[in-house]
């Protein structure tokens, strides 16, 4: 299934994408794409529905973030060997973990704001993993049982805030609009192998990133298990698993976003995003 949320910001309704690519309203079935609705029993209930019998949503409404109630937005740094190489960094012996504020989360096609004082706003296409049931001390072998599905994320980053200012990376990752998420939560049964998905990103139609989740250092199952050793993962939590090469920071000379740019990105089978860049 491809689950989604549509409508004005803060007033999104739950929906799903039918076989013909049309939005069907789920408001009469679940309150939102969150909590128990994305757990194993909730997803089984949704999968049993006759999509053709659900109300059809007319037009092309705004799409919101594909999951609600996200308590933790956990990001993994330098998790692609080829990306680590382009930034001159060594592949870490354990996953680098940092948090992105949940207030950064926006819809997949919402505008991205360049923060005040920013001169180094960058892009990163990433595979997002959405947790479906509480995970604590889980093994790598059972880790995917706790995953509801996958989505596209643009891990927008302000490199000066992230690297040149003192302290941790979080402040360079958490600015408003720095977490476009969606368009859909694609349930894991539709993703045969999360470690073999093509991914790409363009700025003004120029290809910047053209990679694959195959070059991840630490795969999805490992990350879910690893994180669960340090914190409980709850339904709606998102793990953003790192980016392939082609970010602005790694270019020679570096290249960053400016107002008026248009960023488009996508991951095989998970949909696409489009963001206009504006001055915040």
pLDDT digits (tens, 9 = 90+) for 112-158: 999 999 999 999 999 999 999 999 999 999 999 999 999 999 999 99
What's the whole-number mean pLDDT along residues 19-37?
A: 97
Token pair, residue 5, equals 């949320």
Please check whether residue 66 lies inside any domain of the structure.
no
In a domain, 65, yes or no: no
What number of other Cβ atoms are within 10 A of residue 101's Cβ?
15
Q: Is residue 62 part of a domain?
A: no
Q: CA neighbours within 13 Å on the CB side: how many for 262?
A: 7
d(CA 271, CA 183): 6
Tell which residue, 165, 252, 147, has the closest CA to residue 173: 165
Confidence of residue 42 (pLDDT cuts 50, 70, 90): very high
60 inside domain = no
Does 87 score more than 80 pLDDT? no
Same domain, 48 and 151: no
**Residue ranges in 73-168 assigned as alpha helix (H):** 81-86, 159
- The torsion angles phi and psi of 224, rounded to 5 degrees, stand at -60, -45
Same domain? 78 vs 106: yes
Same domain, 85 and 160: yes
Residue 135's CB is within 10 A of a number of other CB atoms, namely 22
Q: Tell me: do 15 and 138 sit in the same domain.
A: no
Same domain, 81 and 142: yes
Task: Report the alpha-carbon distance of residue 235 to residue 32 in Å, rounded.
Answer: 12
How does pLDDT run across 211-243, given as a tens digit for each residue?
999 999 999 999 999 999 999 999 999 999 999
CATH number at residue 178: 3.90.850.10
How many domains does the chain fold into? 2
pTM here? 0.96
Q: Provide DSSP, 30-89.
A: -SSSSGGGGSHHHHHHHHTS-GGGSPBPPS-PPB--S------EEEEES-BHHHHHHTTP
pLDDT at 220: 98
**Residue range of the domain that includes 115:** 73-279
Average pLDDT of the chain is 95
- Amino acid 86: pLDDT: 72
DSSP track, 164-224: ISSS-GGGGT-STT-EEB-S-EEEGGG-S-TTS-EEEEEETTEEEEEEEGGGBSS-HHHHH
């Amino acid at each position: 299934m491809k689950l989604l949320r549509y409508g004005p910001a803060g007033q999104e309704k739950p929906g799903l994408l039918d076989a013909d690519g049309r939005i069907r309203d789920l408001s009469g079935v679940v309150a939102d794409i969150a909590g128990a609705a994305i757990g194993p029993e909730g997803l089984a209930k949704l999968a049993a529905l006759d999509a053709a019998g659900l109300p059809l949503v007319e037009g092309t409404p705004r799409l919101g973030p594909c999951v609600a109630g996200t308590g933790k937005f956990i990001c993994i740094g330098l998790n692609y060997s080829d990306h680590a190489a382009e930034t001159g960094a060594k592949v870490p012996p354990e996953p680098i973990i940092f948090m992105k504020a949940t207030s950064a989360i926006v819809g997949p096609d919402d505008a991205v704001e360049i923060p005040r004082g920013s001169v180094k706003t960058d892009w990163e296409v990433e595979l997002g993993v959405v947790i479906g049931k509480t995970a604590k001390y889980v093994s790598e072998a059972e880790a995917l049982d706790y995953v509801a599905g996958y989505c596209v994320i643009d891990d927008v980053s302000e490199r000066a805030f992230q690297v040149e200012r003192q302290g941790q990376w979080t402040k360079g990752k958490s600015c408003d609009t720095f977490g476009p998420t969606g368009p859909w939560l694609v349930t894991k049964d539709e993703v045969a192998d999360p470690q073999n998905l093509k991914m790409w990103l363009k700025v003004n139609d120029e290809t910047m990133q053209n990679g694959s989740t195959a070059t991840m250092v630490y795969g999805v199952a490992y990350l879910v298990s690893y994180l669960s050793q340090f914190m409980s993962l709850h339904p709606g939590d998102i793990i953003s698993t790192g980016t392939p090469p082609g970010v602005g920071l790694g270019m020679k000379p570096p290249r960053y976003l400016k107002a008026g740019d248009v960023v488009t990105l996508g991951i095989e089978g998970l949909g696409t995003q489009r963001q206009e860049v504006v001055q915040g």
